[in-house]
A and B are shown apart, each in its own frame.
Chain A
Amino acid sequence: MEKLIEQFSLGLFFWQFILFVGLIFLLKKFAWKPILDAVNEREEGIKNALLSAENAKKEMQNLKSDNEKLLAEARAERDAMMKEAREIKEKMINDAKVEAQTQGEKMIEQAKAAIESEKNAAMADLKNQVSSLSLSIAEKILKDELSNKEAQTKIVEKMLDEVKLN
């Protein structure tokens, strides 16, 4: 112990104190602070990068499932649309058929009616024509016949024959 105390050098202690305290402050300003800050920053960066990678992965998964969902929805919608279209088509065809049928029937009916009325008119006209014609013919014949006695008798005879035959 005595030797230790004798060995103790105040000058060395003094210089050591000054040097060491100076070194602490110098290194703190120029080395430790920037080093620790840089390391911290890097660690934060790594942490953030890992986190964002994880998030990106999750997002990707979400997107993928979303996509699938969308795709399935689209497919279902397409199927529904096609089904509907088919139904509409069939309905339209049916409707058209029915319409056409009724229309045709109606037209036929109308035509028939028209034909009937035309026919009736024509018949009436014909009747008129025939009656007038036959009248004129009869008139002429009568004129002719009545002018000729012999012929008159002949006709009467002939007519009587005809009656006999009946």
Chain B
Amino acid sequence: MVFSKKPLHFIIATLIAFLPLINFANPNTDTTAVEKQTVEAEAHTTEHNSEEPKDLKTEIKEFISHHLLDSYDFHLYSYKDDSGTENHIGFPLPVILWDNGLQVFSSSKFHHGEHAAESNGNFYRLFHGKIYKVGSAEEQIKLNEHGHAENVKPFDFSLTKNVFMMLVVSIIMFLLFTNLAKSYAKNGGIAKGAGRFFEPIILYIRDDIAIPNIGKNYKKYMSYLLTIFFFVWFLNLFGLTPLGVNVTGNIAVTACLALLTYLITTFTAKKDYWGHIFWMPGVPVPMKIILAPIELLGTIIKPFSLMIRLYANIVAGHVVLMSIIGLMFIFKNWLGSSLSFVLAFALSLLEILVAALQAYIFTMLSALYFGAANEEHHHDDAHH
């Protein structure tokens, strides 16, 4: 046969080239899309069919913003059954409030924000992922002209989804690294098991982050640097799983990490560090006076930038990735959806890199600040 004599690549290329034509020629795809649209339009209880795409867009937008926020239950996915009622798959987490005494109840009482929860005669409602106090079970949240809630927010120490994920990651880290530590004793100084993969990373943090940046006093910072690197990295990676958690993309979490870096920098700082801030050596006296507040501000800006950098990178990654995934449902055609799938896939790979990179940057910069706090050098005349 002449056909089979052609190179295999050519045959495959031809087949692929003709594939879209065959698909586009098939009218079934269009009709199913239309059907889907109508089904969803019905489900949404919105009367206007023409507004359907916009509604989907807002739905995606809401979904993304909902995903970025913390929540009081661990929600995996929801689906609509044949009767049209929504089913949520997941599990509730405990809500802990300080409101005239400790109020502890399960987040399942909120019924996914549909009902007010009651605890010791107090009623609480969920609004935009936050708990507000309401007077009675029927009372709704009062909104001001900006759309913000005016109700009282009780002190909230709930074990939310993010806290839960942090607990999970902490337990994973603890088990992983204690196992690694034990494997050294068992195998005569050679790592074994899953921890083996992490040993080079630990060594990398020691040899390429801690020692060059901090110097000879690096040992006392190692625990913090290692913990923060793996903690941020693991949480970033968990954020990319379909579990839908966004821990490191939460400002409270990054603020806490940055605050710890700031505290450690401040409390382990040597004389030279403070000398540099309040009385900059090697510059004229008026400059010293001008520089002091700037330098002092700099010590706060540094951890602040740490906080914002991690938060913004992770949030941006999540938003872009979810928007592109959302595009698949907006396009609803063969070409656009598959293109956005490819794009989402490529972005996911990039996000995996970013997950490690941001952890690395956080650790690296923390080490750099510790190094500055620990610097002990003799100024001759020139400042460097």
Contact = CB atoms under 8 A, between A and B. Distances in A.
Interface of A: 4, 6-17, 19-28, 30-36, 38-39, 41-42, 45
Interface in B180-207: 180-182, 184-185, 189-190, 199, 202-203, 206
Nearest to A15: B163
Contact of A27 (B157, B227, B253): B227
Interface in B44-96: 69-70, 96
B156 interface: yes
Contacts of A38: 181, 184-185, 189
Contact of A39 (B96, B202, B253): B202
B180 A31 contact: yes
Interface string B130-166: 1000000000000000001000000111111011001
Contacts of B174: 23, 26-27, 30-31
A45 B188 CA distance: 11
B320 interface: no
A20 B260 contact: yes
| Dominant SS among interface residues on chain A | helix
A12 B224 contact: no
14 contacts: A8-B252, A10-B155, A10-B252, A15-B163, A19-B170, A20-B231, A20-B257, A23-B170, A23-B173, A25-B223, A27-B174, A38-B185, A38-B189, A42-B190
B156 A10 contact: yes
A20 B180 CA distance: 20
B367 interface: no
A7 B226 CA distance: 28
Contact of B252 (A9, A19, A21): A9
B65 to A, nearest CB: 10
Contact of A20 (B155, B158, B184, B227): B227
Contacts of B240: none
A130 to B, nearest CB: 123
Interface of B: 69-70, 96, 130, 148, 155-160, 162-163, 166-167, 170, 173-174, 177-178, 180-182, 184-185, 189-190, 199, 202-203, 206, 222-224, 226-227, 231, 250-253, 255-257, 259-260
A9 B166 CA distance: 15
A98 to B, nearest CB: 81
Contacts of B69: 7
Q: Which 6 A-B pairs have the closest CB atoms?
A: A31-B177, A38-B184, A34-B181, A28-B223, A12-B252, A13-B252
Given A11-B156, A12-B70, A24 B227 contact: yes
B166 A15 contact: yes
Most buried by A among B70, B181, B182, B255: B181
A41 B202 CA distance: 15
B260 A36 contact: no
A30 B170 CA distance: 13
A38 to B, nearest CB: 3
A75 B96 CA distance: 96
Contacts of A30: 174, 177-178, 181
Given A7-B250, A8-B251, A31 B189 contact: no
Contacts of B166: 15-16, 19-20
A16 B256 contact: yes
Contacts of A8: 251-252, 255
Contacts of B190: 42
Contacts of A28: 223, 227
Contacts of A32: 177, 222-223, 226-227
B301 to A, nearest CB: 15
Contacts of A14: 157
A42 B185 CA distance: 11
A38 B118 CA distance: 54
A45 B174 CA distance: 27
B181 A9 contact: no
Contacts of B253: 12-13, 16
A20 B70 CA distance: 18
